Amino acid sequence: MSPPYERLAAWRFCHELALRSREFTKGWSKEDSWLGSQIRRAAFSAAANMVEGSTKRGPREFRRYLDISLGSLAELEYAFRFACDAKIESDLPWDDIRTLRNRAHGTTRLLYNTISDKVRQGEAK
């Protein structure tokens, strides 16, 4: 039986983003390796925080971890913009990694909103 987080579309997109971010930054120069490392950490953090949050008790805690995941995805948005504007080259297309980041962000935001609704409903009882 697979872990419950694997059923989450948001996690699947974040996991794919973490894997693709590793590929995306693989051949970067030593001068740009600091940014590649930051990108890989932020992408991993988005997926890992979702996994950790899904094991916590109740929706309020899960929502907190999803908020951290969203922060990591926002950090990635800027990192990709910086890398593109700084003309750092990659073997993979910029549009592909940005599209994947946007998809991961959108599904994570939807999950966050759904969990937030559950939190509000619990507070209203």
50-100 pLDDT, tens digit per residue, is 999 999 888 999 999 999 999 999 999 999 999 999 999 877 788 899 999
Sign of CA dihedral 92, 94, 96, 100: positive
pLDDT at 122 over 80: no
For residues 15-23, give the mean pLDDT.
Answer: 96
**Percentage of residues in the chain with pLDDT exceeding 90?**
78
Distance CA(69)–CA(50), nearest Å, equals 6
pLDDT at 125: 59
The CA angle 71-43-103, to the nearest 5 degrees, is: 75
Distance CA(62)–CA(10), nearest Å, equals 13
Tell me the whole-structure pTM to 2 decimals: 0.92
